[in-house]
Amino acid sequence: MAALNGAVENGQPDKKVPPLPRPLRSLEVKYTKIFINNEWHESTSGKKFPTYNPSTLEKICDIEEGDKPDVDIAVEAAKAAFQRGSLWRQMDAPSRGRLLHKLADLLERDRVILATLETMDTGKPFLQAYFIDLEGCIKTLRYYAGWADKIQGRTIPVDENFVCFTRHEPMGVCGAITPWNFPLLMLVWKMAPALCCGNTLVIKPAEQTPLTSLYIGSLIKEVGFPPGVVNIVPGYGPTAGAAISTHDSIDKIAFTGSTKVGKLIKEAASKSNLKRVTLELGGKNPCIVCADADLDLAVECAHQGVFFNQGQCCTAASRVFVEEQIYPEFVKRSVEFAKKRLVGDPFDARTEQGPQIDQKQFDKILELIESGKKEGAKLECGGLAIEDRGLFIKPTVFSEVTDNMRIAKEEIFGPVQPIMKFKSIEEVIRRANSTEYGLTAAVFTKNLDRALTLASALQSGTVWINCYNALYAQAPFGGFKMSGNGRELGEYALAEYTEVKTVTIKLSQKSP
Amino acid sequence: QIFINNEWHDSVSGKKFAVFNPATEEKICEVEEGDKADVDKAVKAARKAFELGSTWRTMDASERGRLLNKLADLVERDCQILATMESINGGKLFSTAYLMDLNASIKTLRYCAGWADKIQGRTVPMDGNFFTFTRHEPIGVCGQIIPWNFPLIMFVWKIAAALCCGNTVVVKPAEQTPLTALYMGSLIKEAGFPPGVVNIVPGFGPTAGAAISYHMDIDKVAFTGSTEVGKLIKEAAGKSNLKRVTLELGGKSPNIIFADADLDAAVEFAHVGVFYHQGQCCIAGSRIFVEEPIYDEFVRRSIERAKKYTLGNPLMPGVQQGPQIDKEQFNKILDLIESGKKEGAKLECGGGRWGNKGYFIQPTVFSDVKDDMRIAKEEIFGPVQQIMKFKTIDEVIKRANNTTYGLAAAVFTKDVDKALTFAAALQAGTVWVNCYNAVSPQCAFGGFKMSGNGREMGEYGLHEYTEVKTVTIKIPQKNS
């Protein structure tokens, strides 16, 4: 999975496969404080909060707990770093890009450390943290490093005697509130475009998973970003998070998390200073498998699509619609896959599924599983926790699911695959779109007309055809409807981090 | 040697040619001389590397960018070697080669590396029941002919843009200065570019160069050099296979100084603008128009500035001006200087050869230059500064534009109206206001009129290296 550089030796591709990386067994957590102005601070209140390893249920360490006063200090630092004439404002655009590239270099250097921390903090399998999360972080940083000096305005042929052009200026101080499912990756998705466009940041990582975000603070300092450009305040949503969304000196806020909290943030933004808002929220993503699909491919993609990261993905394929004719075979093969899925210690190289993030999520998932059983879905396998194993849940498959069941409507965020049946394309379009969510969708078919009809008909920010979770820095990502506002990644993210200024100069005589 | 498929080859003919140090007139070494047969081999390799399904065609765009960044890392690693080579081969001041040429090359590679995975097509709302989108595909095999004034930078300007868009290239460096281009071949191989993606064939214009411009299997030719040769290349392209053509040619760029300008700044910029790299720049500010009231003072200060020079071996610290590139240029410049004297311009300083070894020419300043003199019309490409007088805005706009060239121009003034009027009125691809030679990979660069076709650098440079394909798919029913 590590990227090959395409190098060819004597006409033959390089056949050597590099050995698998290994996690660091006794890793000491070095960074546990609040990061402001490139320095580490204790919380104003003196309070700390614990962070746990969901796999062992042991406390990893205590973290300084940020609240409104700490957010205020961070915002002051970010504002100062954004002043006209500051180092950051005066820096050449390609130099901003160079800093992002260097940050990527340091992530590459400390890749094993970061992957180990991420696994300790989230319970995700180490090899996935290494090959997927860290790979995405490095590539996204490099992608946006390339954009830094290509944030281009326009010259505009206006009427009458004027010379007119636009500047695409940075918005200013951006608040970023990041989730616990891909802590570092979701942070980089925000940090990279924000910095590339010249903004400064105040970040609040999820309270369950602050470790990698704080570690990246140390790298930001090492790379040489000026003080105040990136500030990181760990803490809780209702305190530190709310302080950010209501702050009068924050110009923009970006949030990834639940739809429920996303709405609160948007409301807070409107009530305070009309700060610009981008939101990446939940999903109940349809995965449509037509009878003419490559069945093996569809089964595997649907499986990974829902079970990846312990089911804790906003892109989870949590409504699998299978065309009637192939339904029994699809269910049979999916159950086989689910039964084979190796659940265990995320540091073990063979593990495919680790624990859920915390007790709250664990309980919620089990409750939804119970509702599935109660409401009449057919439990094909799994359906309960792995005994004596803390937060681990058996990969669960439900068939004969109908659209009105809770497991078909609510975001589960766990290793549970509901499989439903459909007859016609018109019907499945209607049913797939029949949700307030609209993040992603997938279609498995060999038929061109069907593929493109569905691509256009599905109300989702991303439509995958004959694949799943194909997410790359170049392609914009975001939700229709209540799955979000705005787009991350690609060129489109730049628009979310710039404020357009039009400059118009009067001339004594018109210039064509 | 000749670089094809990441390997080093002797020339098919067995011939070699000599490469010289213009400061000492001594031979540095011999280089394999490529001709049509070698170009054919190179084109075959480039074509194969461009085939559908090849490593290069199936490589992720981001990986292409990664390779360009890696190449930049290697250039950075070997910058001292490259700067020394550029200085010895090109007569360029070592400090300039190290601080400007190498820096610019590295920055350009990194700039284009960033574009690789941002070559984006569009979806298009066509009439009818269709789904339509565009692909911005690489053009194919690109022939690139590089000049001798900025051998490394010009090499990088060409390959960085071409490679970032996914093309394969056959490069012919100038016969005077092949060394850094060939060294780059070794770095390209080390960086990991697949074989055949970059091929380098040193040789002469009428042989290797013509073979490229007439080649039936080259999809595009990019040339930087004289307007005279540029016309030949475009003709060849038309006569052969209608290959796409971009040209960066000569200039006779006007530099307009108003009485309200910051005089010290204007004098300095005007000086560097014409004397940089011994005057061997396509953007040399070789017609300086000074507003009457400050004319005398401007001339006086310019002479003072020009007299401050130490000439010598460009490798030595403390030297401010090196040699011209070769005997042909040397003679041409001296001939134009003589014409200036003969046609009645006032020779203020310099005016002839310096020393008796190496192609050195004294920094020369002419005042009271009239527009019909040869030194005011022809590109000199040497350390010769022409200073003319003007009275009004309309007059100077007319005179500045009165040339078949149109590469760059500058205006020095504190007045906003004047600045923006000139920005619009001057027929030049780049207009500088209160500065000169401000060139950077982010900014599109190229000529109006006969200074060139097309643009290099910036986002615009990408257009020249992509071929747009529209894909239209019939669908049962369109919805917007």
Per-residue pLDDT reduced to its tens digit, B74-100: 999 999 999 999 999 999 999 999 999
Q: How far is A182 from chain B (nearest CA, A)?
A: 22
Q: Are residues B146 and B218 in the same domain?
A: yes
Same domain membership, residue B274 and residue B228: no
How many other CB atoms are found less than 10 A from the CB of residue A40?
Answer: 18
Q: Which of the two residues, B255 and B477, has the higher pLDDT score?
A: B255
For A150, A308, A310, B426, the CA distances from A354, given in Å and listed in that order, are: 41, 10, 6, 67
A505/B56 touch (CB, cutoff 8 Å), yes or no: no
Chain B: give the shortest CA distance to residue A261, in Å: 32
Task: Give the distance, in angstroms, between the CA of residue B448 and the centroid of all CA atoms in the same chain.
Answer: 15
Contacts of A145 in chain B (CB under 8 A): 114
Same domain, B208 and B314: no
Residues B6 and B96 in one domain: yes
**Which tokens is A26 given?**
């006794």
The alpha-carbon gap from A307 to the nearest alpha carbon of chain B, in Å, equals 27
Judging contacts by C-beta atoms under 8 Å, the chain A residues touching residue B192 are 5-7
Q: At what angle do helices A93-109 and A183-196 cross, to 10 degrees?
A: 160
A8 pLDDT band, cuts 50/70/90, is very low
Chain B contact probe: residue of A150, A151, A508 with most B CBs at under 10 A = A150
CATH topology of domain A34-281+487-498: Aldehyde Dehydrogenase; Chain A, domain 1 (3.40.605)
Average pLDDT over residues A132-145: 97
The closest of A138, A98, A72, A175 to A497, measured between CA atoms, is: A175
Report the amino acid identity of residue B276: Y
Report the chain B residue with the minimal C-alpha distance to residue A139. Answer: B62
Q: Which of these, A288, A247, A285, A286, lies nearest to A269 by C-alpha position?
A: A247
Here the tokens at position A480 are 């229709």
Both B333 and B225 in a single domain?
A: no
Considering the candidates A207, A314, A380, A488, report the single residue annotated as catalytic: A314
pLDDT higher than 90, residue A6: no
In a domain, B438, yes or no: no
Q: How far is B189 from chain A (nearest CA, A)?
A: 9
A contact test, residue of B442, B443, B459, B472 with most A CBs within 10 A: B442
Q: Which residue carries 């049979």 as its tokens?
A: A332
Task: For residue B133, give the CATH number of its domain.
Answer: 3.40.605.10
pTM here is 0.84
Two structure tokens written together for A76: 């002051």
Secondary structure (3-state) at B90: helix
CB atoms within 10 A of CB A174: 30
pLDDT at A14: 59
Confidence at residue A85, expressed as pLDDT on a 0 to 100 scale: 87
Question: Residue A302: which residues within 8 A CB-CB, separation 6 or more?
Answer: A287, A289, A317, A320, A334, A417, A442, A444, A468
What separation, in Å, do the N-terminal and C-terminal C-alpha atoms of chain B show? 57
Residue B305 gets the label, from left (phi > 0), alpha (psi -120 to 50) or beta, of: alpha
Instruction: Say yes or no for a CB contact (<8 Å) between B110 and A449.
Output: no
Q: Given CB atoms, is A152 within the 8 Å cutoff of chain B?
A: yes
Say how far apart CA B362 and CA B383 lie, in whole Å: 7
Please provide the size of chain A in residues.
Answer: 512
CA distances (Å), A57 to each of A60, A174, A356, A415, B361, in order? 9, 34, 11, 19, 80
Considering only CB atoms, which chain A residues are within 8 Å of B62? Answer: 139, 142-143, 472-474
Does any domain span residue B480?
Answer: no
Residue range A342-351, pLDDT digits in tens: 999 999 999 9
pLDDT in tens, B368-381: 999 999 999 999 99
Arithmetic mean of pLDDT, A274-288: 94
Q: Which residues on B lie below 8 Å from A149 (Cβ)?
A: 111, 114, 441-442
Note whether residue B231 is domain-resident: yes
pLDDT surpasses 50 at A5: no
What is the distance between the alpha carbons of residues B444 and B455, in angstroms, rounded to a whole number? 6
Q: Which residue has the higher pLDDT, A207 or A453?
A: A207
Of A394-408, A432-446, B439-453, give the lowest mean pLDDT range.
Answer: B439-453
Neighboring chain A residues of B110 at a CB cutoff of 8 Å: 94, 97-98, 101
Decide if B413 contacts B258 (C-beta within 8 A). yes
d(CA B314, CA A296): 68
Q: Do A146 and B479 touch (CB under 8 A)?
A: no
Statement: residue A257 has pLDDT above 90: yes
User: Do B187 and B263 sit in the same domain of this protein?
Assistant: no
In chain A, residues with a C-beta closer than 8 Å to the C-beta of B416 are: 505
Quick one: pLDDT at residue A7?
A: 40
CATH number, residue B429: 3.40.309.10
- Please give the tally of structural domains in chain B: 2
Read off the pLDDT band of A163 (50, 70, 90).
confident
Task: Name the band, by pLDDT with cuts 50, 70 and 90, for residue A3.
Answer: very low
pLDDT range class, residue A2, cuts 50, 70, 90? very low
**Residue of B115, B417, B477 lying closest to A507 (CB–CB):** B417
Whether the predicted pLDDT of A395 surpasses 80: yes
User: Looking at residue B449, what DSSP letter applies?
Assistant: G
Q: What is the ipTM of this complex?
A: 0.73
Q: With an 8 Å Cβ cutoff, is A500 touching chain B?
A: no
Q: Which of A8, A94, A456 sits opposite B55 (nearest CB)?
A: A8
Strand bridging mode A286-289 / A440-444: parallel
Q: Which residues contact A447 (CB under 8 A, 6 or more apart)?
A: A290, A292
Of A391-400, A499-508, B61-70, the poorest mean pLDDT is in: A499-508
- pLDDT given for residue A270 in this prediction: 85
Residues 6+ apart with CB under 8 A from B208: B33, B34, B35, B36, B38, B39, B172, B201, B202
Q: Do A452 and B473 touch (CB under 8 A)?
A: yes
| Integer Cα distance of A438 and A457 in angstroms | 12
Length of chain B: 480
Residue B248: active-site member: yes
> Under the phi-then-psi rule, with left for phi > 0, alpha for psi from -120 to 50, and beta for the rest, what region is A310?
left
* Within a domain: B444: no
Residue of A nearest to B479 (CA): A456
d(CA B23, CA A108): 46
Mean pLDDT, residues A180-201 taken together? 98
Are B298 and B338 in the same domain? yes
pLDDT digit string (tens) for A475-510? 889 999 999 999 999 998 999 999 988 888 877 655
8 Å CB contact between A231 and A203: yes
Q: For A3-7, A408-412, B177-181, B386-390, which range has the lowest pLDDT when averaged over its residues?
A: A3-7
Q: Are the beta carbons of B114 and A511 separated by less than 8 Å?
A: no
Confirm if B458 and B256 have CB atoms less than 8 A apart. Answer: no
Q: What is the pLDDT of residues B333-348, one digit of tens each?
A: 999 999 999 999 999 9
Average pLDDT over residues B280-306: 97
Instruction: For residue B442, tell me if it sits in a domain.
Output: no
Nearest CB to B194 within list A6, A163, A448: A6
Q: Provide the token pair at A207.
A: 């309270």
Name the residue range of residue B428's domain: 254-433
Q: Would the pLDDT of A12 be above 70?
A: no
Q: Which tops the pLDDT comparison, A417 or B234?
A: A417
Q: Do B479 and A149 touch (CB under 8 A)?
A: no
* Mean predicted confidence (pLDDT) in B291-309: 96
Contact A456 B479 (CB under 8 A): yes
Q: Whole-angstrom Cα distance, residue B21 to residue A509? A: 53
Task: Tell me how far apart the alpha carbons of residues A319 and A15 are, in angstroms, rounded to a whole number.
Answer: 40
Contact at CB, A452 and B117, closer than 8 angstroms: no
Identify the pLDDT of residue A155: 86
DSSP string, B260-305: TS-HHHHHHHHHHHHHGGGG--TT---EEEEEGGGHHHHHHHHHHH
Judged against a pLDDT cut of 70, whether residue A238 lies above it is answered with yes
Whether the per-residue pLDDT at B57 is higher than 70: the answer is: yes
| Shared-domain flag, residues B52 and B175 | yes
Cβ neighbors of B357 (< 8 A, separation 6 or more) are B24, B25
**The pLDDT of residue A315 is above 80:** yes
**Bigger pLDDT: B346 vs A7:** B346
Residues B107 and B214 in one domain: yes
CA distance B59 to chain A (A): 6
Q: What is the pLDDT of residues A420-435, one digit of tens each?
A: 999 999 999 999 999 9
- With beta carbons less than 8 A apart as the criterion, state whether B446 and B283 touch: no
Residues B340, B457: one domain? Answer: no
- A147 three-class SS: helix
Q: Does B426 share its domain with B459?
A: no
Both B43 and B166 in one domain: the answer is yes
Residue that the structure tokens 């939700």 belong to = A479
Contacts of B114 in chain A (CB under 8 A): 97, 145-150
Contacts (Cβ under 8 Å, ≥6 apart) of B372: none
pLDDT band at A161 (very low <50, low <70, confident <90, very high): confident
Instruction: Among 3.40.50.620, 3.40.309.10, 3.30.1180.20, 3.40.50.720, name the CATH number for the domain at A286-476.
Output: 3.40.309.10
Query: pLDDT tens digits for B312-334?
Result: 999 998 999 999 999 999 999 99
Say which of B175, B248, B348, B379 is annotated catalytic: B248
The pLDDT-based confidence of B472 (bands split at 50, 70, 90) is confident
Q: DSSP string covering B97-125, please? A: IIIIIIHHHHHHHHHHHHHGGG----EE-
CB contact, 8 Å: A475 with chain B? no
Mean pLDDT, chain B, whole residue set: 94
Place of tokens 């033959």: A12
C-beta atoms of A97 and B117 within 8 A: no
Name the average pLDDT for chain A.
Answer: 93
Q: Which amino acid is at A206?
A: A
Interatomic CA distance for residues A142 and A108, integer angstroms: 11
Among candidates A3, A142, A449 on the partner chain, residue whose Cβ is nearest the Cβ of B476? A449
Q: Where are the domains of chain A?
A: 34-281+487-498, 286-476
Q: Smallest Cβ distance to A146: which of B113, B192, B194?
A: B113
Which H/E stretch holds residue A406?
A: helix A406-409
- Name chain B contacts of A472, Cβ cutoff 8 Å: 62
Q: Can you give A299-352 as a three-state secondary structure string?
A: HHHHHHHHHHHHHCCCCCCCEEEEEHHHHHHHHHHHHHHHHHCCECCCCCCCCC
Predicted local distance difference test score (pLDDT) of residue A508: 65
Confidence label for A283 from pLDDT (cuts 50, 70 and 90):
very high
Q: What does the angle CA B167 – CA B170 – CA B171 come to, to the nearest 5 degrees?
A: 115
Q: Do B114 and A3 touch (CB under 8 A)?
A: no
Please give the C-alpha separations between residue A430 and each of A285, A421, A457, in angstroms, as whole numbers: 13, 13, 9
What are the b/e assignments for A306-334, b being 16+ CB within 10 Å? bbbbbbbbbbbbbbbbbbeebbeebbebb
The predicted model gives A143-165 an average pLDDT of: 88
Residue A49's closest CA among A69, A28, A66?
A: A66
Those residues whose C-beta lies under 8 Å from the C-beta of residue A14, and which sit 6 or more positions away, are A4, A7, A8
In a domain, B32, yes or no: yes
Q: B90: burial class by Cβ within 10 Å (0-12, 13-18, 19+)?
A: buried
DSSP-based three-state secondary structure for B196: coil
B343 in a structural domain = yes
Rounded-to-5 percentages of helix, strand, coil across chain A: 40, 20, 40
Per-residue pLDDT band for A385 (boundaries 50, 70, 90) equals: very high
Mutate to test the interface with B, among A474, A487, A505, A507 (most CBs of B within 10 A): A474
Contacts of A13 in chain B (CB under 8 A): 55
| Residue A500 neighbours by CB distance under 10 Å | 11
